[in-house]
Amino acid sequence: MAPLRVLCIHGYRQNGSSYREKTGALRKLLKKQVEFVYLSAPHSVQQASSEALEKENGPGPGPGGDEDPRGWWFSDIQALSFSAQQHCEESLGLDESVTAVREAVKVQGPFDGILGFSQGAAFVAMLCSLQEQKLEPEFSFRFAILVAGFRSACKEHQKFYNPPLQIPSLHVFGLEDRVIPDNMSRELLPSFQDPQVLTHPGGHFVPAASAHRPAYQDFLKRFQ
């Protein structure tokens, strides 16, 4: 059985290679079922202090580190920065990020599914909305996995959240997440028809202990 091909969308201040390192346990957990392909966001982000990085990315830069921090859009168009909690009228950079995904699908696709983390998970919800509105004919994702996702607080993004998306979705979040508190991830659930949920007791990371394998496998098996 050929593995499912999944496009991976990293979090704010990460990049494709650092996110690949951070999802090593998940790749190992699902290696028989999934081939993960990693994309870097088009926008460079200003370096942050080590405390801010620790908060957003979890302790310690893995090999491949976050020397080249990237983002999918900015909520503060003056400072060119992003905060999930920031309410804004408009954002900057989303169109270029959609173009980057479109190009990845053309060149490296097709993909069975898409997986996003944090800002990347919020972006995945938007990409699924564009697909269902038939605005991106290149997209043909059959499922979405959103880890520490949230609903964008930017006014111009509200068009992505109704009606509920039909794409099968698995929403994964940590009950001790201090970057994207679990209530923010729960607020995204009504934007999806029949969302499946996997919670874990930890913080802001992609959980991949053997205890989590059944939830991932049960979700993925219907697409195999």
Catalytic residues, by residue number, are: 118, 177, 204
Strand ranges (E), the chain = 4-9, 34-39, 43-44, 70-71, 113-117, 143-147, 169-174, 196-200
Sequence-distant (6+) residues with CB within 8 A of 114 are 6, 7, 8, 9, 124, 127, 128, 141, 143, 144, 145
The tokens for 121 are 């998970």
Contact 26, 39 (CB under 8 A): no
Instruction: Give the span between the Cα atoms of 80 and 139, in whole angstroms.
Output: 28
Q: How many Å separate Cα 112 from the centre of its chain?
A: 15
Q: What are phi and psi of 162, to 5 degrees?
A: -145, 145
DSSP strand pairing (196-200 vs 43-44): unpaired
Sequence-distant (6+) residues with CB within 8 A of 171 are 146, 149, 185, 188, 189, 192, 195, 196, 197, 198
Q: Which of these, 5, 15, 10, lies nearest to 140 by C-alpha position?
A: 5
